[in-house]
Chains A and B, each alone.
Chain A
Amino acid sequence: MNKMKKLLSLLILISPIVYKAQGFQVNLQGQAQQAMGGAGTALIQDGAAVFFNPGGVSFLKENSVNVGATPVISHGVFLESNTNATGTTQSPVAFPFAGYAVWGADSSHKVFSRFKFGLGAYTPFGSTIKWQDPWPGRFNLTEIQLFSVFIQPTISFKICNKLGIGGGFVYATGKVDLQQDLPITFQNGNYGSGIIKGNATGYGFNGGIYYKPCNKFSIGLTYRSQVNMNVKNGTATFNVPSSLATDFPNGSFTSSLPLPQVATLGLAYRVNEKLALAFDASFVGWYTYKSITFKYADTTAQLQNTVLIRNYQNAYSFRLGGQYKILNNLYGRLGLSYLISPVKSGYVTPDVPDGNRLNIMAGIGYNLGKHFAANASFTFEDITRKGDNSLSIIPTPGQTIYPLSGTYKVFIYAPGLSVTYKF
């Protein structure tokens, strides 16, 4: 029955393909920033500063409410290198969203006007992918949905006209849904499957400093802590032939998934009245993501806890963007980002076929009167990753690994829109 043990040890993975950015980090928290390559740590534009730099929130002139969403459309293909077998994703659309509210007392209050209070709700990590069955990686993954929402009450304080600090507490909630086929065949030739579903919660914080020594130049530094997402009472469901039902008991599981810390240094330079440039460099602490364990409440000789080896490396990203004031109420934006993948060779799995990538973005912003603004962005990503998952499998003694090996190619389109009400 070693086979069953083994196949279950291969069951279920929690590290997802991507809708954006390294690993399953999503960088779609503000439309103005997104259109500028995702840089916004040192260029404070709107309420999205609650995410990008809480230290800069106190520099916002107006109170505002800002909501936006970015449908992420992804198309993925896979080509197995030994067999030329292919796989195609069913291109589900994911909907990362972001909403921010920022409020502070008006300037008549000498002390209180130095404070601003913010509330953000955004989706910093997530992934969704569904491979069309059958595909050669079906016994690794058929479907994954990972979704997290961070809710972040924030306070920001302007120490002086040049320096602001801020911080927010993060409450994270999310869900995970993973499916794969099991190499156990029913009498009719169909394969069994395993489904893992659970809700996760976690806590963290987001802090930042904003420094603007002169009108032309500003600098920002932020730190977003690691958030451990804990699944306390997930459900594991196995669809297996009845003769094996007792070997694969449906039941609950617990798990924990670390969402990494991110430290960012941002620079902004206002060339003139019309043109502003922003640059962000980030460190993403993916090193913490070594393995994921699913602990089943009911284990059997065949159903052992699942351990997935990931051994991510730390990742870095570089973002550059420009904004040009075309008309008094119209802005055009362009951006570029270069992201270094946390996925090492030998760990290229169908849940995160992630590679280094160069992304291009563009967008516009439009102010409608004094109170309303709309911002739109469009991002295109082209990810190509060749490799195999040979090191992500724990072999039994003496076992020979024929890994899932090939090339993944994913196009991601992310058109986004947000509206802002200022008061």
Chain B
Amino acid sequence: MKHLIYKSIVIALSVSICCSCKPKLTAPAPSKGSLDLTSYVAIGNSITSGFADGALSYNGQMVSYPNLIAGQLKLINGVNLTFNQPLLPQGSIGTNIVDSAYTNTKYIYTAPLQLGYSTDCLGVNSLGPIPVATVGDESAVSTNIYASQGPFNNMGVPGARAIDVATVGYGNPANGIGNYNPFFTRMAKNQTTSSMLSDAMLLNPTFFSLFIGNNDVLLYAANGGAPPTTITSQTAFNTSINTIVSTLTSNGAKGVIGNIPDITALPYFTTVPWNGLTLRQGQADTLNGVISFLGVNYVFTAGNNPFVIYDASVNTPSHARVMQSGELVLLNVPLDQIKCHKMGTLIPIPDQYVLTATEIQNIKTATSAFNTTIQSVAQAKGLAFVDVNAFMSQTQKGISYDGISLNAQFVTGGAFSLDGIHLNPIGNALLANQFIQAINTTYSSTIPQVDATKYRGILFP
């Protein structure tokens, strides 16, 4: 009997030990292919900096796409990479810095956005983006941090255009308001003599990513094509891209270049509909009775109607006309003015909030030409090329990633942050994957992609 008990114990033990044996799957070791990953530098604009929800903040910087790429590069055995970013203090809410209405009188500091409830002029309480504070954290960006935190591998500077990258003194306050970039002032090695490019070269990059050019059309677009903003000239753009890439590759560095998405498809431009003027019959009748004072020849009806806008090219004293299908109203249009103060009807929506068909065409033509330059430079130098434009167009139509659906709709689409221009963390992760795929293709590396399911979309209250 003792023997039997002993045997049973042995059997029970061996069964339980055996049953706890777990399956294993081993991932193939990532390889760097033909890349030298001693020093990685990213050059770009706000997207590269990690700007999101209308501001630069520590949390956004941590999920900037180049930081995510760097994280994946570090997974390669033997790659000992530092990717130093000009981080804001961890507790800071962050800030944006704007040359208000291009007046060149002062910079204003605005706070990031969050989703929250607010009451409009009609007393309607609804969910939408609201600032987390009345002003941004100016103190977080007012001191130069190069000595204490530099040099910086992430040379993404909010607001930078392709034509700004090689500009000496781009961060020099002596140039006067509107003629220097305080974000670069904060991180430049030398405010007077540094350019983004010269500071980047201090790190002797062996590998770089370059994603620049959006602002060469976006600054114009985000101001409704109104003066004084202009689209960068094709010549100046070509010169800049060539200078940047030649300099970066001068020591044999390899790299990856992204092209420019169609910015008119960003939620910032697609959320407010051109025919968002909703009228009851009585309102339409009243409006029809008075609209001729503006020289507008249109019969308003009950339901959806086009907004009345200011268009300098209209040859009447008021320069007013109704919008056409395909024209765009910007997200920063003062909605309370529209809802309660006759903007969009008797008060035409000002130029700066509207992209007319002509302006849209200007943007598309320039973007297309810029992209031709970018792709041909990438080809000429044998660099990896990311078709960010194609990726954004994919995003617009919708993406399903590991069960997460994303598209370019404002707030609900999930890919874009609350400013309607910059990506959410999950959007950054997907963008980083586009770069990684291009790098892997060109340099025969096997850098694993970012697990984008770990990164959030919009935060809902």
Query: Which A residues are closer than 8 A to B by beta carbons?
Result: 1-4, 6-7, 10, 73, 75-80, 82-86, 134, 136-140, 180, 183-187, 189, 240-244, 378, 382, 393, 395-404, 407, 409-411, 413, 415
Contact = CB atoms under 8 A, between A and B. Distances in A.
A3 B413 contact: yes
**Interface-central residue, B20, B26, B413, B453, by most chain A CB under 10 Å:** B453
B398 A2 contact: yes
A1 B400 contact: no
Interface of B: 15, 18-28, 30, 75, 114-115, 117, 127, 394, 397-407, 409, 412-414, 433, 448-451, 453-454, 456-461
A139 B404 contact: yes
Contacts of B433: 82
A139 B402 contact: yes
Given A185-B456, A187-B461, A243-B127, A136 B24 contact: no
A341 to B, nearest CB: 17
A186 B459 contact: yes
Contacts of B405: 2-3, 6-7, 10, 183, 396, 399
A399 B459 contact: no
B402 A400 contact: no
B404 A83 contact: no
Contacts of A7: 403-405
B453 A136 contact: yes
Given A3-B407, A3-B414, A399-B400, A139 B25 contact: no
B460 A399 contact: no
Q: Main secondary structure on chain A at its contact with chain B?
A: mixed
5 contacts: A2-B398, A2-B409, A2-B413, A140-B403, A396-B405
A243 B115 contact: yes
B415 to A, nearest CB: 9
Given A3-B409, A77-B24, A396-B398, A189 B18 contact: no
Given A82-B449, A399-B400, A185 B22 contact: no
A28 to B, nearest CB: 15
A401 B394 CA distance: 10
B403 A183 contact: yes
Contact of A410 (B19, B23, B413, B457): B23
Contact of A136 (B117, B127, B402, B409): B402
Contacts of A393: 400
A409 B403 contact: no
A243 B460 contact: yes
Contact of B19 (A73, A240, A241, A243): A73
Contact of B451 (A85, A398, A409, A410): A85
A77 B457 contact: no
Contacts of A136: 402, 451, 453
B330 to A, nearest CB: 22
B22 A411 contact: yes
A393 B402 CA distance: 10
A365 to B, nearest CB: 15
A378 B12 CA distance: 12
Nearest to A73: B19
A83 B449 contact: yes
Contacts of A244: 460
3 nearest A-B pairs in the assembled complex, by CB-CB distance: A139-B403, A398-B397, A241-B460
Given A136-B451, A400-B394, A185 B457 contact: yes
B27 A79 contact: yes
A107 B409 CA distance: 79
Contacts of A241: 460-461
